[in-house]
Amino acid sequence: MKRSAINAIMADADEMIRQFGFVLPPFAYWTAEEFVARKDQAAHLITSRCGWDITDYGAGDYDRMGLFLFTLRNGLLDDLRQGGGMCYAEKLLISKQDQLSPMHSHILKAEDIINRGGAKLVVELYGSDDHGNFAEDRGGTVFCDGLRVEYDAGQKLILAPGQSVTLRPGDWHAFWGEGGDVLIGEVSTVNDDETDNIFRDPIGRFAEIEEDQPPTHLLVSDYARWLG
């Protein structure tokens, strides 16, 4: 992805988020230089990879397959392993109309995916086999707004604004916006995007970036290079 395209997506996403009454935290608007100057103070944000995250999954066609994310807060894996402390995470996502977030699962993370506003959100579901692998012939059970729902393999849940689904480790899922763009909330256990996204197909989690202009704001995938 070109950096200019990422900068434009950031601006459009910020506008949509504000339209639904949400405001990103102050660090979202730091320039790259401000982040460098405040990296000691921001050590937890950097370590837990809070901030902007825009991906085309390495496929080079963001409008067809991609996702906007902003990690608002994220806990610590050590706390999760010990069963106490900051064991949670929260994100805002935007799924554009017919923009696929491809089939994947998580080893550790349980999550609520919430339609916060906009169009309908389609969530396609499959269960896993006895080893946690994708099983195209297996359904399962999820909770939608706290109500138990049995689903068949490949069933598509349609979530209107205000509705949600709870996914547990091993629940295979893909999602996209139907009829327009969707603002999504994600509330989960500690989030580790580097190791805990298991994709059905051999794709990448993060975009490869062509630096055709300076970044408006750093992505979480920029932190290692910019902040050490």
Q: What is the pLDDT of residues 14-64, one digit of tens each?
A: 999 999 999 999 999 999 999 999 999 999 999 999 999 999 999 999 999
Which two tokens mark 43? 């050590």
Which two tokens mark 71? 């990690």
The three-state secondary structure class of 7 is: helix
**Total tally of structural domains belonging to the chain:** 1
Per residue, what are the HEC states of 144-160? Answer: ECCEEEEECCCCEEEEC
The torsion region of residue 94 among left (phi > 0), alpha (psi -120 to 50) and beta comes to: beta
Look at the chain and count its residues: 228
Q: How many helices (H) and strands (E) does the chain have?
A: 5, 11
Confidence grade of residue 123 (pLDDT, cut at 50, 70, 90): very high
CATH number of the domain at 92, please. 2.60.120.10
> Which residue range(s) make up the domain with 77?
3-227
Confidence grade of residue 228 (pLDDT, cut at 50, 70, 90): confident
